[in-house]
Each structure stands twice: as C-alpha cells, then as structure tokens.
C-alpha cells in the first residue's frame, strides 16, 4: 500500500512538473504599435486567448512539445509561428503582424474590442472599413468608454466632446460647423444607414458603441446630407467572447436608471454571436413638470457560417413617455427675468413616442478580390401628443401693444406616424495596375419615407370671437368689435395667457373642453431617392487617393394619394476628391474637395407649415489637415482647416400669420480650424480634447442686415477637455479620478437679429472605484452651478442647460 501511495505521489508530481512550461509574448504592428485584443490560438489544442490592450498574451501549464500558434487581428494578415517548448521553459515571443487592408471587414458585423477613448477604424468615411489616419476628411468620435466615464446617456450630452459640434436645442437637434441637422430630417445615420428619430426627444445611448461625425458634405457617400457633416450612431455588435454587465444609477432630479449589456457566442464554434442591450429610465428634470420614462430593447445577432460570409441582425425598440418641453420664456428683452426651470406646460400634457429600427446586413466574399455587401434598415415612428405651448409671441392689450410678462398660448393634440426604408448595396473589388493598388466600390442606394393617412391635429389658438362661438387666429386692434372683450376691454384669449410672474397658476390642470379647436389634417406624404456611385481608394507609395462620384435622383409626390398627385424630381452629380500623404508612420497629411446637396420639398421638411417647395441646398467644401499618432499609437490627433459654402439655406420668414413659414437666403459660408485629440498618454491616463474656431456667416441675402452676421447657435469658439487617471498602486490602488471642462462663446439666436445668449464655461468631475468585477462611479456636472443656455430661437423659446447635478452608478461585470 505504501508503494501505491508513493507511485501516485510521484505520478502527480511528474504531471505537475511536466506542465509547468509557459508561452508569453507581445503582438505589435510593423510601426511598433501594440495590436490590442488580437486573437491567439494553439493548433491541435482547444486553447485560445485574447491579447490585452498592450498586445500581451499568455499560455500557462503547457506540456513540453511542438506547438503552432496562430495570431489574428482585424486589419492584419494572419500569422503562424511554430515553437518547440522544453520542460519548465518560459518562452517569450515578440510577434509582428503586417497590416492587410484586403482582410478588413466590408461592413461592421462583429463588435469592437478596443477599450479606450481611441478608435482606429471607421466605416463611415469610405463605406468600407478604413483606418482613420488614411481617411482624407476629419472625423470626430466618442467611444462607449468615454461615454460611460462621463455618465452620458444622450447624444446631446456626447457631442460636447466634438470640435465644431454643439446642441441647437433640447431636441435631437445639433449644429455641425454652423449647419443644423436633426433626428427628424433623415440625414442622421445608424450604422451608416439613413434613419430617423422623433426629433422631440433624444433617445437613450446605452446601446451605442460610439457616436461619430464625418465633417463636411457627405452626399457623395450617402446622398442628400448637411454640408456641415453627418452624425452616425454605431450600435454595439456581438463579441466572440462572453462579456456581461449590469448597472444601476440614481441621482439628481429623482433619476433612476438601469442598464444591461450581454454578449457572447451562442454556438461552440462561434458561428452565431449575440448581444442584448436593455435600458430603463425614470427621471424628472430641473425643468417644471418635465419627466422621462424610457424603455430600450436592443438585441443583435451575427451569423458567421464561414470565413467568407457574415450576416447581422439588429433591432432597436424604444418607448418614451414624457412631456414636450418648448423651452423657457423670459420677460420681453430681459434674459435673466425668469427662472431657467420655468416651462410653459400644463399638468395635462403628455408626449408618447414609440420607435423601432430593424437592420439586416449581409457581407459575402466571392474571391480574394471580390466581395458584396447589402444592408437594409426599416424605421417606424409613432407620436401621440398633447401640449400647452407658447404661440411664439407675447400677449397683446386692447390697443395691440404687447404685454411683456405674458405669453400668448396655444394647445396641440396630435397623432401621426412615419416609416423610413433604406437599402444600401455595393460590390468591392481589389486590383493592381502597375505600382497602384485599388479598392474599387460600385454601389446602389435606395431610400423612401412615407407619412400614411390618418395623421391629424386639433389646435386651439388665437382670441375668441365676439359671439364666443369660435376663435380668430390673430388679434387686430382696428377691428375690436369682432372679438370677445373682458371687463378691461382687452381681447379674451382662446387659451389663457401664461403669466410669467405667476407660473404656478398658469401650469395648473386645464379643462380641455373649454377651448375652441380647429382640425388640421397631416396629408399623406411620400418621397424616395436612389443613388448610384463609384469610388476608388488608390494607393501609390506614400500617397493615397480617395476618388468618387455619385448620381442621385430625388422624387417627391406632391398631393400624394390625391387626384392631382404630381411627381417632382430633383437630381444631382456629386464628386469627391481626397488625397493623403504619409510623411512617416505617425503623420499623415490630407486634402479633400467634396460637394453636397439636400432637397427642400414639403415632404422632406419636418415642418408641414414651412412652405415650399424650395430649391435644393447645394454646397461644397475644401478641407486640409493632418492626422498624427503618439505614444505608440495610443493617442490620436486630428487637425483640420476647412471652408464650406452653401446656397438656398432656409430661415424664418418672420410672418405673424404663419410663424413656421420659411424663406431661402442666397449664400452662407463657414470656415475655421478644428483640433481633436483622443486616446491615452499612458496606460493609466486617458484624454479627450477638442477645440474649434469657426466663422459662419451669411454672405448673400436679400436682407442686407443679415450679411456678415454669425449663423444662429454657432459659437465662434468652443472647446472641451476630459481626462481620467487610474491609480494602479499605492494607497489609491483601484481608484480613478476624472476632470473636464467645456466652453462656448456668445451665440446669436435664430429668429431675432438683436438677441444673443452668453458664452459659458462648465466644470465636471468624476470618481471611480473598481474592485474585481464591481464598479462604483460618481459623476458631478456643472460643479460651479453656472446658468447657461445650450441654444434658442428667441427669448420666448430658450433652451437652458442643467444646474449642478450628480449621478451615482453601481456596476457589475461577469
């Protein structure tokens, strides 16, 4: 028996002794930058590993023998290395992978594995994946890591990190280089495809991998688009390794938020991957009566049956219950006369929105040189609204003079739906002609939007007629006998004026049956567009050229579904020329010229009362700049100088009979300089910096006074800095601290040439504590409690920023 015990002990010792060998190493690119999160596998063994952000990998407890290791990284050629491992040997390898543009994904199917403020690749600038340093156009972006560190949850909070980008209003509504885009205009993108939001409310961003802005006209890529740039929301895609997290947040304004993110393979061979993002929010606001109750359900599947085919499915369903906030009103020409918390709403009000976005995409590699990609996205939006809102003017006395402390009111009850479809497909072919290498793309896009029959609105506005049987839209003091007058001889409003000196009384519950309503239908609308384009990404030595041309045809069906239906067509040829020169592995210089256009028919404008049809917007941009990487490619810097010209921009007509009526001006120009910095200075120190100087002026207009005036809600200067440091040793080990600031200068308002809103500087901070799989995070925003406004139309519709606030988040990853 003793011999048996001794034999077992010796055998156990021998096995343990024999399996004490180890293989470690680092994976770098040819320019000595770490290949973060590369995959490493051992042939003939069911062993795999993923390198960390420094490219480091490790295999422990190996038996002596011969092993073949396989190294793969997105955008790099696969490499194998065979090694002989001796007993007790600790073998250290240094692997250098060669970049291979031909192996890059054609469309974004599987998730990004980088875990920093830096993003090295993009699909937005060239339809297929391209290194950002090689793209001859500026791109600003924020990764999910930066978004999470700042505690941001909406795009309006995120865009402060971008040079030349700012909020225009509370809504899903931003300005890029002085040109306005919004969620209802169908010029925002989701995964590179045109889609829409409800405009009024910004959707939650918990399902986003990153938010990015391609600067300048992008019509040559995506069809009609803003000359300032296009905003793209990139959704989180499935990962081939399990990664799950949940978080709970609470903080100022009675906020409660719960988020979850689950991902990983569904099959052993990792041919089917999944991701599921969930979100719930129940929050009030610093604004009177305002609240948001949001639900997000966002599953995603990636099917990878072989190395030549990939299929992706995404669904984003959002349900939002809230009140529509039309902004703060002040006493006439007195910006600080009312509290920024004051809204014009009544407790009756509500806004219920429901949106779904379904995306399916296919990528297939026919040969080593030829591939095909197709993506389809369907968006459905449903709106149910009741609101008390200002009529965008001050109330009047019997003699027609304004009452500077009272706002004329109106009531809207509205229901409507919208449906948007977008199909994008292209062939990609790789070829060589002598010393030139080509990545050729030939594509076809189709998009359409339909507003179906049934949308309608009840509107109560104006002043009561003399018989008190109806209302008149505007008050005419020269015809007093037509109006119902009160004891003081003043006209009686259909909807009681909002008394700015007694907001509580004006916000009380209203008897909706007391108003006189006028019904207004929303006629069905339908427009479609298609585009065909070719593009060639040419490489020749240190030079790269990105050349493209697109033909777009836009069709709007006036009087859709009626007997006098008429199809109106607009078309455009859109060239694009870009050149990049590689000075050295860390510095690229570039220049580009692009043209853009955007139809302005009644169907394409989000406001049915805007008028039109108008001539399309036409634009062009010249941009020069440089892109540079530092600290072994951990920090990325972009510098851009640009000049944009646009014709036929629409501005308010200032028509009292139709406050929504627009007019076209001649020409406007935007020129300036931008700087964006993203990434890590050290492994522990992350930074995001942005600065822009932008002169955006009207240069031609029939109204002489407008010429030379800075465009609305466009600061001449703005900037942002955010930096985080993680302590990795000492008494503060596992703690992190972050600080940030953003500023903008004075801005002009949209509808009043004499009114401005002041510039501001805000300070924010955050504390982090990570231990094992738990995370505790505390964000504090607007620490100095600065009073400021993110934008506005005039002093009746101002959009104030939040006072000082905090948010505590508890997270768990598993």
Q: Is the pLDDT of residue 379 over 90?
A: yes
Maximum Cα interatomic distance, the chain, rounded to a whole number of Å: 120
Which range among 15-19, 34-38, 118-122, 368-372 has the greatest average pLDDT? 368-372
Question: Do 660 and 695 fall within a single domain?
Answer: yes
Tokens of 479: 């015809």
3-state secondary structure of 350: strand
Question: Do 573 and 715 fall within a single domain?
Answer: yes
User: Rounded distance, CA 383 to CA 365, Å?
Assistant: 42
> pLDDT by residue (tens digit) across 772-789?
899 999 999 999 999 999
8 found inside a domain:
no
Which pLDDT score is estimated for 112?
64
Question: Do 216 and 93 fall within a single domain?
Answer: no
> pLDDT by residue (tens digit) across 246-256?
999 999 999 99
Which pLDDT score is estimated for 213?
93
Q: How big is the CA angle at 295 (ends 291 and 299), to the nearest 5 degrees? A: 155
108 found inside a domain:
no
Which range among 235-244, 314-323, 647-656 has the greatest average pLDDT? 314-323
Q: What's the 3-state SS for 64-109?
A: CEEEEEEEECCCECCEEEEEEECCCCEEEEEEEECECHHHCCCCCC
Which pLDDT score is estimated for 752?
73
Q: C-alpha distances in angstroms, 155 versus 147, 462, 725?
A: 9, 36, 24
Q: For 60, how many CA atoms within 13 A lie in the half-sphere containing its CB?
A: 1
Among residues 235, 258, 291, the one where a domain terminates is: 235
Task: Using pLDDT thresholds of 50, 70 and 90, give the confidence band for residue 706.
Answer: confident
Helices (H) and strands (E) counted in the chain, each on its own, are 5, 50
Question: Do 219 and 251 fall within a single domain?
Answer: no
Which pLDDT score is estimated for 4?
45
Give 480's DSSP letter: G
Q: Is the pLDDT of residue 16 over 60?
A: no
User: Rounded distance, CA 450 to CA 379, Å?
Assistant: 11
Tokens of 527: 């427009």
> pLDDT by residue (tens digit) across 668-704?
999 999 999 999 999 899 999 999 999 999 888 877 7
Mean pLDDT of 385-397: 95
Instruction: Point out the least confidently predicted range of 121-130, 332-341, 438-447, 737-746.
Output: 121-130
Residue 489 main-chain phi, psi, to 5 deg: 85, 10
Question: Do 197 and 253 fall within a single domain?
Answer: no
Average pLDDT, the chain: 89
> pLDDT by residue (tens digit) across 416-453?
999 999 999 999 999 999 899 999 999 999 999 999 99
> pLDDT by residue (tens digit) across 52-109?
777 899 888 888 888 898 888 765 778 889 999 888 888 999 998 876 544 435 556 6
Nearest to 539 by CA among 530, 531, 547: 547
Domain CATH for 231: 2.170.130.10
Question: Do 741 and 787 fall within a single domain?
Answer: yes
> pLDDT by residue (tens digit) across 618-642?
899 999 999 999 988 889 999 999 9
116 found inside a domain:
no
Give 115's DSSP letter: -
Tokens of 138: 């500026």
Question: Do 271 and 176 fall within a single domain?
Answer: no
User: Rounded distance, CA 798 to CA 340, Å?
Assistant: 9
Question: Do 359 and 444 fall within a single domain?
Answer: yes
Taking the CA atoms of residue 592, residue 597, residue 598 and residue 601 in that order, the dihedral angle to the nearest 10 degrees is: 170
User: Rounded distance, CA 463 to CA 461, Å?
Assistant: 7
Nearest to 199 by CA among 167, 233, 170: 170
Q: Is the pLDDT of residue 298 over 70?
A: yes
* Ramachandran assignment for 321, one of left (phi > 0), alpha (psi -120 to 50 degrees), beta (any other): beta
Taking the CA atoms of residue 597, residue 567, residue 196 and residue 416 in that order, the dihedral angle to the nearest 10 degrees is: 150
Q: Is the pLDDT of residue 664 over 80?
A: no
Question: Do 33 and 150 fall within a single domain?
Answer: no
Counting residues of the chain whose pLDDT is more than 90, the rounded percentage is 64
102 found inside a domain:
no
Q: What's the 3-state SS for 642-710?
A: EEEEEECCEEECCECCECCCEEECCEEEEEEEEEEEEEECCCCEEEEEEEEEEEEEEEECCCHHHCCCE
User: Rounded distance, CA 214 to CA 397, Å?
Assistant: 50
Q: C-alpha distances in angstroms, 249 versus 256, 541, 650, 768, 779?
A: 6, 52, 42, 14, 10
Q: Are 493 and 411 in contact (CB under 8 A)?
A: no
Counting residues of the chain whose pLDDT is more than 70, the rounded percentage is 92
Among residues 217, 235, 253, the one where a domain terminates is: 235
Domain CATH for 247: 2.40.170.20
Question: Do 170 and 250 fall within a single domain?
Answer: no
Mean pLDDT of 554-575: 86
3 found inside a domain:
no
Q: Is the pLDDT of residue 563 over 80?
A: yes
Higher pLDDT, 581 or 3: 581
Instruction: Point out the least confidently predicted range of 431-440, 487-496, 518-527.
Output: 518-527
Among residues 214, 235, 256, the one where a domain terminates is: 235
Domain CATH for 27: 2.60.40.1120
Mean pLDDT of 334-361: 96
Task: Using pLDDT thresholds of 50, 70 and 90, give the confidence band for residue 147.
Answer: very high
Task: Using pLDDT thresholds of 50, 70 and 90, give the confidence band for residue 6.
Answer: very low
Question: Do 616 and 682 fall within a single domain?
Answer: yes
Residue 130 main-chain phi, psi, to 5 deg: -145, 145
Question: Do 187 and 70 fall within a single domain?
Answer: no
Q: Are 35 and 29 in contact (CB under 8 A)?
A: yes
Which pLDDT score is estimated for 648?
83
Mean pLDDT of 313-335: 95
Task: Using pLDDT thresholds of 50, 70 and 90, give the confidence band for residue 182.
Answer: confident
Q: How big is the CA angle at 674 (ends 668 and 675), to the nearest 5 degrees? A: 170
Instruction: Point out the least confidently predicted range of 12-16, 118-122, 283-287, 622-626.
Output: 12-16
Q: Is the pLDDT of residue 222 over 90?
A: no
Instruction: Point out the least confidently predicted range of 52-61, 163-172, 317-326, 658-667.
Output: 658-667
Q: What share of the chain is helix, strand, coil (3-state, %, to 5)?
A: 5, 55, 35
Residue 700 main-chain phi, psi, to 5 deg: -140, 130
115 found inside a domain:
no
* Domain around 51: 22-97
Q: Is the pLDDT of residue 31 over 70?
A: no
556 found inside a domain:
yes
Q: Is the peptide bond before 613 cis (omega within 30 degrees of 0)?
A: yes
> pLDDT by residue (tens digit) across 732-750?
999 999 999 999 999 999 8
Which H or E run contains 425? strand 402-433
Task: Using pLDDT thresholds of 50, 70 and 90, give the confidence band for residue 580.
Answer: very high
Mean pLDDT of 591-605: 78
Which pLDDT score is estimated for 108?
63
Which pLDDT score is estimated for 560?
85
3-state secondary structure of 146: helix
Which pLDDT score is estimated for 704?
79
Q: What's the 3-state SS for 222-244?
A: HCCCCCCEEEEEEECCCCCCCEE
Which pLDDT score is estimated for 603?
57
Number of domains in the chain: 3
Q: Is the pLDDT of residue 49 over 90?
A: no
112 found inside a domain:
no
C-alpha 374: how far from its chain's center? 22
């Amino acid at each position: 028996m003793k011999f048996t015990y001794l034999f077992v002990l010796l055998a156990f010792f021998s096995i343990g002794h024999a399996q004490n060998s180890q293989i470690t190493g680092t994976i770098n690119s040819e320019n000595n930058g770490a290949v973060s999160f590369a995959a490493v596998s051992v042939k003939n063994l069911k062993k795999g590993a993923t390198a960390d952000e420094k490219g480091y990998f490790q295999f422990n407890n190996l038996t002596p023998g011969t092993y073949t290791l396989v190294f793969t990284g997105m955008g790099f050629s696969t490499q194998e290395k065979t090694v002989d491992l001796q007993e007790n040997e600790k073998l250290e390898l240094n692997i250098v992978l060669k970049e291979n543009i031909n192996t890059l994904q054609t469309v974004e199917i599987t998730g990004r594995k980088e875990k920093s403020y830096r993003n090295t690749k993009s699909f937005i600038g060239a339809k297929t994946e391209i290194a950002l340093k090689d793209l001859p156009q500026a791109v600003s972006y924020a990764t999910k890591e930066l978004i999470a560190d700042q505690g941001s949850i909406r795009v309006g909070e995120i865009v402060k990190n971008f040079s030349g980008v700012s909020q225009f209003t509370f809504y899903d509504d931003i300005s890029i280089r002085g040109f306005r885009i919004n969620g209802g205009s169908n010029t925002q993108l989701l995964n590179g495809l045109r889609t829409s939001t409800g405009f009024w409310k910004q959707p939650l961003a918990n399902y986003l991998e990153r938010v990015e802005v391609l600067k300048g006209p992008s019509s040559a890529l995506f069809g009609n688009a803003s000359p300032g740039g296009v905003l793209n929301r990139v959704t989180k895609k499935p990962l081939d390794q399990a990664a799950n997290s949940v978080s709970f947040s609470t903080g100022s304004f009675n906020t409660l938020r719960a988020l979850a993110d689950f991902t990983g393979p569904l099959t052993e061979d990792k041919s089917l991957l999944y991701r599921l993002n969930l979100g719930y929010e129940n929050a009030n606001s610093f604004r009177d009566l305002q609240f948001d109750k949001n639900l997000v359900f966002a599953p995603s599947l990636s099917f990878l049956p072989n190395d030549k085919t990939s299929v992706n499915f995404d669904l984003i369903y959002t349900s939002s219950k809230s009140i529509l906030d039309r902004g703060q009103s002040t006493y006439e020409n007195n910006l600080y006369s009312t509290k920024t918390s004051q809204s014009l709403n009544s407790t009756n009000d509500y806004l219920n929105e429901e949106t779904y976005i379904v995306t399916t995409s296919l990528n297939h590699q026919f040969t080593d040189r030829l591939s095909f990609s197709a993506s389809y996205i369907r968006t459905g939006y449903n709106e149910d609204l009741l609101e008390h809102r200002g009529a965008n003017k001050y109330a009047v006395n019997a003699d027609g003079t304004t009452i500077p402390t009272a706002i004329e009111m109106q009531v809207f009850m509205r229901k409507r739906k919208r449906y948007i479809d977008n199909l994008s497909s292209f062939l990609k072919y790789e070829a060589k002609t002598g010393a030139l290498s080509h990545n050729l793309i030939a594509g076809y896009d189709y998009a359409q939007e339909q507003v179906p029959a049934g949308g309608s609105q009840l509107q109560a506005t104006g002043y009561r007629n003399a018989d008190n049987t109806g209302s008149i839209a505007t008050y005419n003091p020269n015809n007093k006998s037509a109006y119902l007058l009160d004891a003081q001889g003043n006209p009686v409003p259909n909807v009681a004026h909002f008394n700015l000196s007694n907001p509580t009384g004006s916000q009380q519950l209203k008897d909706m049956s007391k108003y006189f309503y006028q019904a207004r239908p929303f006629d069905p609308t339908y427009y479609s567009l298609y585009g065909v384009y070719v593009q060639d990404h040419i490489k020749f030595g240190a030079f790269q050229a990105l050349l493209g041309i697109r033909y777009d045809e836009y069709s709007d069906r006036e009087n859709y579904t009626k007997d006098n239906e008429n199809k109106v067509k607009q078309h455009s040829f859109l060239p694009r020329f870009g050149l990049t020169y590689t000075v050295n592995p860390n510095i690229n210089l570039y220049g580009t010229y692009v043209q853009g256009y955007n139809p302005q028919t009644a169907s394409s404008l989000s406001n049915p009362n805007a008028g039109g049809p108008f001539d399309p917007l036409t634009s062009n941009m010249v941009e020069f700049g440089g892109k540079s990487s530092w600290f072994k490619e951990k920090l990325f810097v972009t510098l851009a100088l640009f000049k944009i010209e646009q014709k036929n921009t629409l501005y308010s007509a200032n028509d009292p009979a139709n406050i929504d009526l627009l007019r076209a001006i001649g020409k406007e120009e935007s020129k300036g300089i931008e700087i964006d910095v993203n990434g890590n200075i050290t492994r522990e120190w992350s930074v995001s910096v942005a600065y822009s100087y932008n002169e955006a002026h009207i240069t031609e207009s029939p109204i002489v006074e407008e010429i030379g005036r800075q465009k609305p809600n466009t600061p001449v200067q703005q900037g942002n800095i955010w930096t985080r440091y993680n302590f990795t040793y000492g008494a503060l080990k596992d703690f992190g601290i972050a600080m940030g600031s953003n500023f903008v200068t004075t801005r002009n308002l949209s509808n009043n040439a004499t009114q401005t809103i002041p510039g501001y500087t805000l300070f924010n901070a955050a504390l982090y504590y990570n231990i094992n799989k738990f995370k505790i995070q505390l964000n504090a925003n607007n620490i100095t409690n600065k009073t400021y406004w993110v934008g506005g139309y005039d002093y009746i519709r101002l959009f104030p920023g939040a006072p000082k606030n905090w948010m505590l988040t508890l997270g768990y990853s598993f």
